[in-house]
Structure formats: C-alpha cells, structure tokens
C-alpha cells in the first residue's frame, strides 16, 4: 500500500509525481486550447490557449492566429485577464475582454475598445454591414427587482432574503435581482456607450440561464433582424418547464414575432442562412425534458415552412444533434454523439428528406468546428490527449495544426484505451471503455475502478476532463472501467430514455455487468475494486454501496444525490426532477422512484469505506446531500471522510482546490485499494 501523501507535503515538493506518467501538477500545466473562429476567406483562424498559475490560483487566456496552409502562428494578445469569443470583422479580430468588446488587427496592432458600456457587456459580437458600418450585439445585466437593501433602507446592516417563489437560486448563484438581456448598438468610430435593449420592460433573460451565451442571439446578414432565445417564464413556471422560444425582431419597426410558437421544449442556437432567407436552430419537442432529442429546424422566412431534419429523414430515433453550421443554403455540418464519441456529419437536402454522411473518423471527440477552405477546423480530444485543433480535409483525413501540449505528452506514457461491447443483464450490447495503466503488463494484477457517469444523460465519450481524468487515474496504477450504461445519448433514443424513472434499476445492473465482465480478466485484482462518480454518478456510488454485495473495497462520491426526497425539495430546476423521477414523492404514481431507488433506504447495507466530496455552492445537488451521506456512514461505523469546498459549486474550478481534490481522491484510493 502506498503511503498517503498529505497535501502540504505534496505542495512543498512541487507536486512531483513519478517521472514518465501524468500527475495532477502536469495536468494543470497543460494549455487548454479552444477554437474561436475562421477568417472569411477560410485560410486563417483564431484560437485561445488558457494557462493556470497555481500560486496565483487563477488562469489567463491569450489569443493566437494561425495560417492553415503554412502553419505560421502569431500571438495576438497578452493582456491581464482572458480574451474570449474572438471573431473576424473589418480586417481584424474582435474579442471580449474585461467586460467590453475590443478589436485588434491581424498583425497584433491597433488594439482599441469597441464598447464602453456602463456595467460592462457579455458575449459581444460585431457584424460588418455592406455600407462599412459595424453593428454590435451583446447581453447586459439590468436590474429587474428590488434588492434586500432597498426593501429596508433604514436597516443597512440587516442580512436577509425574502423568497416568494421558486428559482431564488440556480446551480451556483443566488438570484441577483437582475436579468441578462440582449442589446444592439452601432459603432461609429468611438467606443459604444448607448444601445437599444431588445427586451426592455420585461424581466426575462436572454441568454437563458445558467449556461446560455452568445450562441443564443444573432443578427441577419443584412443587419435588419435579430433572433434571440428567451424563456418567458418566472418562478415556479421557470423551474418546472424547459419551454424557451426564439423571437425574430424587425429592427426598423421594433416588432417581434415568436418563430418557435407551439414548440414546447428548448429552442436554441438560432443561425441565419448565408443569404439570410432562412433560420435554423436546435429544438427539443418535450417540455420539461432537458435531455430530449435535439432536432434541427429550418424555417423559410418567406414561405414560413418549417422543416424538421431528423424527423423528415427517419433518423429521430437514431441521432441527436449537438451543434451545427450552415455550409450552403441546403447543406449543414452537424455534430452528433455517436457510439461513444462526438463525430461530425455533413447533411444535405434531398427532396423532402436529408442525407447524412459521416465526415470525421476515429475514436476521438470532435467538438467545436468551423468551416474552412477545403475542409473543417475541429477542436479534437481523446482520453489520452487534451484538445488540439485539427484540419479535416474533404476526404476525412485529419492533420494536427496546434501542438500546445506536445512537450508534456512526449514525457509521459500513454494509456491503452480499449473499446469493448459487454452484454448487459437483459442481453443488450453496452459499449464500455477500458483504460489501462501506461506500460500495462497483463501478467500483473491491477486495482480497478468502476467509473459512474453523471448527467445522467451524458455520453461516456472520448472526453478529456481536468478532474475526472482517466489518463491520470490509469497513471496511478489503476485500470478504469467506464460503461455507457442505460440513459446515455449516442446509441439511439430508446437507450437514452431508458433511465428516466428507473434511476436505481437497469442502470445499476448495467454498471455491475460491466465491472463483473472486466473482473474476469486475470490482470484485474478482484480484492481491490473501487467505484467512483459525480452527480448522478455520485448517486450511483451511494446506490451501489447498498447493493454491491461485497464487490467493491472503496467508494468515492462527488456531489451525489443521497436522499431523493430531501433533494427534491432543495434542488432548483424542478423540470429535471419531475421528468426523471416522475414528479413529487407525495404522489402515489411516483412511489417506485423514491421507495425503490433512494440510496438512503439501503444504508443498512453500507460496510465499505467511502469518501464524500461536496461543494457549498452546489444548488443543483445541495450540500446537505453529502453531509447526510457522510453522517450515515459514520453512524453505521463505516470508515468515511467528508471533503468540503465551501466556495465551489457542482464542479471544482479553482486550481488549488483542484490539486487538493486530486490529492484526497488518490490518497483515499491508495489507502484502501493498494
């Protein structure tokens, strides 16, 4: 058994791990690459690289420009703070920095501010008009309700909140009595100060919180129309429904129309066609179901005809579309979760249907993409490599363009990643990733971890996480088993939907089938099996702790749901709870979800060491869930530890907290499995 290394000792030695393997320190040294935009001629692109300073406990993102053909690179920015949302306009590049939109020439000169809006702007985008002018779209925060201080101005030291409805907090933030709303302005050579608020007089948000951004609104090529997404609901209605809508605004008259009226689920990411005659967007059909199939809708603005790409092609039960870009008036490039990885397809209209052709190849996640001259630019990653930017030619051949992390990866051994099809308890084939330690020796025995995915409807793809990093786990000497259990996209609509109202049923049997199948291998140490996961994966850990029948010797649950009844009354997005669990626990129809699949009801069977991790600002799965699980374990006499981050939410985002997280995570596993 390895000795547990205390964090302070780890810090004093500079977090030095074994030579030749991934370590937590090296993970934070990696540059995090993001593709921003391609130039109008398709020959160059701008991208960002984020780097983190452990001592300062902060990060910074700089922008770079690359010529696709020559590979020549120039650094555009070196400013304090980060630069985001870069895009080409007026012969240079506009980007968001310090709460304002800026512009810089492609030679890195001529830096200037395009906006100087009081209070700052978010997600700003500049559009060049045919007459040479610039229009700027952005979102800005507006006060829409009285603050506590305004309620009692004569009691300035009082600390309180008064809640009269739901959604008083969301994910990791309390209601700030303000709304983000879309605004438009024109740049005339001096930084913009005045603007028109397109949602003025309302309290609705655009983008829709908590994760909406600049993809939620766009300007037509002729500058006459704006389309934006909003959710015209408040309080309890907002908490229970996912029905967002898209509004088309005529900027000359100010009139707006709901172009997604009657479409009951999320309607997102509006984009005008190149000639401005059509609008396309992603749409879910079911109100309240956040993981429904995303169809691509195409609206002809003249005829008002709407086409549903997946439904009209007979592929609604097979695919869901994560992202898209117009290639031509009747052609798209789309991103689709597909059999354990994110892949890119070309979609072309064929009469009343659409033809799908897969472009990308290999077991990689092909994430954000941009259409370039002669092919695509793609942000690509896999379980052994953080994101780099690749150029995919029309024939599907890929060439790596950025090499930000080559030096670090050249110094470490890579993991073998195996793709297995494992039979489930009901005879289905389940894609399961098995990740092996570097220099794996089949003659040896290795402790093995079952990884439980969160979401719950979130594919176990070729992702490269900076927390749940399989390469790092394998580098510490563990085999990792990562099943695509029931309830994940990429394997058809039926497989994705089989988790709702069955959280603790077949998905748990899928997990056990995966670990049992791999455990038959002679190189798996069956006396040292662990189980780890976060969110729904953390719920899975708690659930399996009560039903695993001695398989596992250690558990780690991060932000897991422990008591479904108390969680139901303390979480915020009720549509998720209502759809996946069936509704309130006091309604008889939902009794099975709460009585059969509630981890707290199996605590009497807990007998395995458990590390519980939770954040104090996690309002999606509030902190009491972790506290209750830890307390239950201790009262049962089970070895347990509670790792608490008071200022983190559902994720651990601070660099120093991230290092503590990994030290505690691997320290716990080393203590109980090695």
Query: pLDDT per residue over 529-545, tens digit each?
Result: 999 999 999 999 999 99
- Asked whether the whole model's pTM tops 0.85, one would answer yes
618 is catalytic: yes
Q: Which is the catalytic residue, given 273, 415, 535, 540?
A: 535
Given 245, 618, 663, 670, the catalytic residue: 618
C-beta separation of 442 from 523 below 8 A: yes
Angstrom distances, CA of residue 360 to CA of 336, 378, 457, 464: 11, 10, 23, 18
Helix (H, G, I), strand (E, B) or coil at 409: helix
| pLDDT for the residue 396 | 84
- Could you give the CA distance from residue 333 to residue 662 in angstroms, rounded to a whole number? 38
Three-class secondary structure of residue 637 per DSSP: coil
Domain residue ranges of the chain, discontinuous segments joined by +: 114-292, 414-605
Contact in structure between 120 and 139 (CB atoms under 8 Å): no
Phi-psi region of 553 (alpha: psi -120 to 50; beta: other; left: phi over 0): alpha
Does residue 207 have a cis peptide bond before it, meaning omega lies within 30 degrees of 0? yes
Residue percentage of the chain with pLDDT more than 90: 96
Identify whether the C-beta of residue 504 lies closer than 8 Å to the C-beta of residue 596.
yes
Radius of gyration from C-alpha coordinates of the chain: 25
Distances from the Cα of 356 to the Cα of 305, 390, 412, 489, angstroms: 21, 22, 39, 18
pLDDT tens digits, 136-160: 999 999 999 999 999 999 999 999 9
Which of these is catalytic: 87, 366, 558, 650?
A: 650
Q: What percent of the chain has pLDDT over 70?
A: 97
Give the separation between CA 421 and CA 514, rounded to whole angstroms.
9
Q: What is the DSSP letter of 148?
A: H
Q: Which tens digit of pLDDT belongs to each residue from 66-96?
A: 999 999 999 999 999 899 999 999 999 999 9
pLDDT at site 224: 97
CA–CA gap between residue 246 and residue 244 (Å, rounded): 7
| Among candidate residues 235, 174, 225, 226, the one with its CA nearest the CA of residue 204 | 235
Q: What is the mean pLDDT of residues 513-518?
A: 98
- For domain 414-605, is the CATH number 3.40.50.1820? yes
Per-residue pLDDT at 18 exceeds 70: no
159-213 per-position pLDDT tens digit = 999 999 999 999 999 999 999 999 999 999 999 999 999 999 999 999 999 999 9
Q: What integer pLDDT is reported at residue 4 of this predicted model?
A: 35
User: Which of 383, 417, 467, 395 lies closest to 648, judged by CA?
Assistant: 467
Helix (H) or strand (E) holding 575: helix 574-581
């Amino acid at each position: 058994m390895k000795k547990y290394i205390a964090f302070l000792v780890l810090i004093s030695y500079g977090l030095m791990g074994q030579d030749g393997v991934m370590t937590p320190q090296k993970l934070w040294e990696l540059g995090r690459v993001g593709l921003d935009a391609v130039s109008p001629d398709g020959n160059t692109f701008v991208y960002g690289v984020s780097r983190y300073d452990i001592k300062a406990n902060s990060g910074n993102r700089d922008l770079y420009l690359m010529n696709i053909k020559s590979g020549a690179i120039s650094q555009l920015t070196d400013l304090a703070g980060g630069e985001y949302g870069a895009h080409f306009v007026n012969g240079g590049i506009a980007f968001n920095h310090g709460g304002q939109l800026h512009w810089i020439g492609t030679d890195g000169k001529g830096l200037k501010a395009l906006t100087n809006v009081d209070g700052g702007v978010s997600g700003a985008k500049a559009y060049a008009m045919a007459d040479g002018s610039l229009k700027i779209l952005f979102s800005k925060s507006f006060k829409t309700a009285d603050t506590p201080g305004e309620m009692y101005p004569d009691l300035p030291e009082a600390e309180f909140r008064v809640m009269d409805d739901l959604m008083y907090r969301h994910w990791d933030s309390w209601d700030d009595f303000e709304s983000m709303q879309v605004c438009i302005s024109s740049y005339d050579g001096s930084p913009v100060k005045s603007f028109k608020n397109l949602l003025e007089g309302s309290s609705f948000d655009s983008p829709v919180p908590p994760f909406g951004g600049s993809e939620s609104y766009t300007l037509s090529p002729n500058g006459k129309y704006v389309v934006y997404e909003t959710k015209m609901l408040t309080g309890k209605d907002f908490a229970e429904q996912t029905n967002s809508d898209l509004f088309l605004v005529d900027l000359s008259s100010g009139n707006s129309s709901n172009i997604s009226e009657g479409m009951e689920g999320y309607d997102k990411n509006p984009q005008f066609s190149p000639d401005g005659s059509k609008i396309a967007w992603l749409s879910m059909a079911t109100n309240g179901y956040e993981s429904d199939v995303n169809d691509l809708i195409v609206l002809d603005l003249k005829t008002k005809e709407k086409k549903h790409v997946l439904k009209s092609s007979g592929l609604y039960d097979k695919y869901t579309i994560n992202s898209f870009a117009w290639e031509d008036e009747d052609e798209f490039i789309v991103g689709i979760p597909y059999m354990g990885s994110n892949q890119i397809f070309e979609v072309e209209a064929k009469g009343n249907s659409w033809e799908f052709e897969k472009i990308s190849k290999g077991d990689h996640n092909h994430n954000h993409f941009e259409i370039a001259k002669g092919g695509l630019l793609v942000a690509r990653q896999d379980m052994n490599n953080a994101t780099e930017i690749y150029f995919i030619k029309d024939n599907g051949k890929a060439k790596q363009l950025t090499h930000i992390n080559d030096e670090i990866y050249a110094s470490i051994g890579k993991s073998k990643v195996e793709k297995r099809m494992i039979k489930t308890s009901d005879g289905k084939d389940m894609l399961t990733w098995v990740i092996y330690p570097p220099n794996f020796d089949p003659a040896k025995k290795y402790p093995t971890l079952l990884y439980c995915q969160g979401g719950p409807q979130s594919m176990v793809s070729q992702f490269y996480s900076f927390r749940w990093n399989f390469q790092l786990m394998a580098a510490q000497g563990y085999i990792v088993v990562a099943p695509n259990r029931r309830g994940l996209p990429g394997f058809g609509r039926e497989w994705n939907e089989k988790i709702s109202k069955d959280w603790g049923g077949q998905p748990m049997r899928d997990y056990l089938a995966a670990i049992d199948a791999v455990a038959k291998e002679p190189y798996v140490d069956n006396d040292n099996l662990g189980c780890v996961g976060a969110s729904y994966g953390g719920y899975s850990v708690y659930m399996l702790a009560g039903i695993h029948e001695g398989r596992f010797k250690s558990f780690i649950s991060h932000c897991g749901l422990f008591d479904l009844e108390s969680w139901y009354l303390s979480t915020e997005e009720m549509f998720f709870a209502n759809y996946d669990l069936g509704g309130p626990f006091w309604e008889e129809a939902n009794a099975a979800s709460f009585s059969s699949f509630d981890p707290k009801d199996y605590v009497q069977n807990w007998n395995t060491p458990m590390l519980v991790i939770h954040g104090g600002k996690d309002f999606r799965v509030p902190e009491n869930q972790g506290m209750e699980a830890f307390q239950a374990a201790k009262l049962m006499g089970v070895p347990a530890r509670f790792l608490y981050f008071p200022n983190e939410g559902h994720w651990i985002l601070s660099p120093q907290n991230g290092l503590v997280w990994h030290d505690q995570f691997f320290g716990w596993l080393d203590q109980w499995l090695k």
